[in-house]
Structure 1
């Protein structure tokens, strides 16, 4: 009897109870970011050597700019940073809208790279206060990393099973932000999903789906992959008014199933999205010499503006779809 229960438990982790169809809600391309997002000028919560600037300052310094088809955010790569300032000028933006059950598809051409950099694309609870309502890290890495890390950070009482249907490698299973210095529950992708090799391939697509029924899942397809779903690669609204992760998407890189080990409603509510680029800080600074860099992280940030020429985001588009449940046919 115990064996049967164990099998059923494993099946419930590997096979979601429902599939979900998503309808396009918002598209952010080029100048849409200037109208639909806010430039945050807060002190960096992760203690980075960074000075987040307003939209006006960012546009005046050419740290945020757009074309009809592209949106760019970058670090200052011209100026020495005086020791008595917050840090190197950079950008952190927050979506004005928050989304519940949804699918976000990011077409990204280039992400910040190089020693001291800590770029991330993620979402967090609009209601908060953090970590209440949850955090979902879709893109994150530091310094010369080549592997993307996807993580959840939550209030207490959320853990993940070690075995799941995903292609990434589990790095941690306790999502509680109060445990192990806010490591969260993470899954690491293969080499080439982050940093220099990601950019050398012309970027790619990240998709994050979150629903009560299917949990939280993240996919990644590099630009040169033959397996990119057509609705992701060429999302023509007339052809694809809706989108649904189906078997052609393959297994996600990271799967965070929801169940008795992590109650969805208790840990995740409507989220706003964030792009940011900080330097050094709690993560990039602490692992600076073990992730391909040498010397002092802070000194590097202060005194080497030319090293930040490739520390920029180049976003082709971000599409947000909202969810409509579509149950699977009954098993007979």
Structure 2
């Protein structure tokens, strides 16, 4: 019996290990973002005081540039915006490829900050229409926030328990966009340098989205954190250990799905997702919260129109984005 058990283990173990390994399928750095992403120019769906520009305008107006190791895109910080304009020039890019289960590892040096800003790194359904197919917000915040918010936004019948295996603090439990004014089910990070000026002061850091049929989780490590896993900070063709590994610790945010005891069916709520980076100004969240954000007495729209120098820090500086699948 012991011999047969040993033979069975030898036959099964390599397969099990292989299923937990992740291989690099896409890596973007520097100019690669120009080829891999579409620059959107439609009106902001969240009603921001924003004019999304095309790739040519962004490059010619110095709203985007790339080096072999850096990709930068930003809002305009030099012009007063006429009241008749659509808004302040800014950027929104969408990946040409849609992805499903895997690890999405972002090495970020600087995120947009400041009054009226609403930056986000997120994914949304290729098939749609929204919210069918789901939305995953990995990095998001507004105005002078200091903590990151990770959220899911879905069609009805997707809920989370308040008590979950995460270091962050549960903000809301119902992911249905029809509930609580599309608040979604969110987790606020407790790490003081996860968002805003404190994030940038540390030279940025690493955000990782893990998407599986069992759960969706997000980790964050600042650049100066000695516990950042080697496979996160160092680019490689394959993450060879079972990942997320034991050295990763508890996720900052986690969303268990029905395959893992949750109350949200994965197959009916999530399909292949495009990846988006954007920077809107004011709008449904930043504009609503502006009056209580400590940004002054003017309206959010007037602030955006008349204070170009206030948007000097409103830029993304990305070192790399890597996508791994099992």
TM-score relative to the length of structure 2: 0.91
- Name the CA distance, whole Å, in 2 between partners of 1:146 and 1:90: 22
Judged with a 3 Å threshold, the aligned counterparts in structure 2 of structure 1 residues 120 and 208 are, in CA distance, closer, same or farther, namely same
CA deviation after TM superposition for structure 1 residue 292, in Å: 2.8
TM-score relative to the length of structure 1: 0.89
Provide the secondary structure at the position in 2 that maps to 1:265: helix
CA deviation after TM superposition for structure 1 residue 51, in Å: 0.1
Partner of 2:285: 283
Partner of 1:9: none
Partner of 1:315: 318
Structure 1 segments, 4+ long, off by >6 Å, are: none
- Name the CA distance, whole Å, in 2 between partners of 1:50 and 1:241: 43
C-alpha contact (below 8 Å) 1:217/1:254 kept by paired residues? yes
C-alpha contact (below 8 Å) 2:96/2:274 kept by paired residues? yes
Partner of 2:13: none
| Deviation sequence 1:308-329 (CA, Å, 0-9, x none) | 1110000000001112xxxxxx
Partner of 1:263: 265
- Name the CA distance, whole Å, in 2 between partners of 1:243 and 1:121: 26
What RMSD, in angstroms, separates the aligned Cα atoms of the two structures?
A: 1.3
Partner of 1:251: 250
Asked if residue 306 in structure 1 is aligned to residue 309 in structure 2, the reply is yes
Flag structure 2 segments of 5+ consecutive residues without an equivalent.
1-18
| Deviation sequence 1:43-72 (CA, Å, 0-9, x none) | 101000000000111111111110000000
| Deviation sequence 1:237-262 (CA, Å, 0-9, x none) | 3x746772111000000000001510
| Deviation sequence 1:271-315 (CA, Å, 0-9, x none) | 000000000110001011222312211111000111111100000
- Name the CA distance, whole Å, in 2 between partners of 1:291 and 1:243: 42
Q: How does 1:162-201 map to 2 (within 5 A)?
A: 162-190=162-190, 191-201=192-202
C-alpha contact (below 8 Å) 2:117/2:142 kept by paired residues? yes
CA deviation after TM superposition for structure 1 residue 229, in Å: 0.3
- Name the CA distance, whole Å, in 1 between partners of 2:242 and 2:54: 35
Asked if residue 159 in structure 1 is aligned to residue 159 in structure 2, the reply is yes
CA deviation after TM superposition for structure 1 residue 119, in Å: 0.3
Partner of 2:107: 107
| Deviation sequence 1:13-57 (CA, Å, 0-9, x none) | xxxxxx843211000000000000000001101000000000111
CA deviation after TM superposition for structure 1 residue 219, in Å: 0.1
Asked if residue 91 in structure 1 is aligned to residue 94 in structure 2, the reply is no
- Name the CA distance, whole Å, in 1 between partners of 2:274 and 2:102: 11
- Name the CA distance, whole Å, in 2 between partners of 1:21 and 1:297: 47
**Structure that is richer in helix per residue:** 2
- Name the CA distance, whole Å, in 1 between partners of 2:74 and 2:235: 27
- Name the CA distance, whole Å, in 2 between partners of 1:201 and 1:271: 30
CA deviation after TM superposition for structure 1 residue 236, in Å: 3.2
Comparing 204-213 with 240-249, which one deviates more in the overlay? Answer: 240-249
Provide the secondary structure at the position in 2 that maps to 1:255: strand
Provide the secondary structure at the position in 2 that maps to 1:48: coil
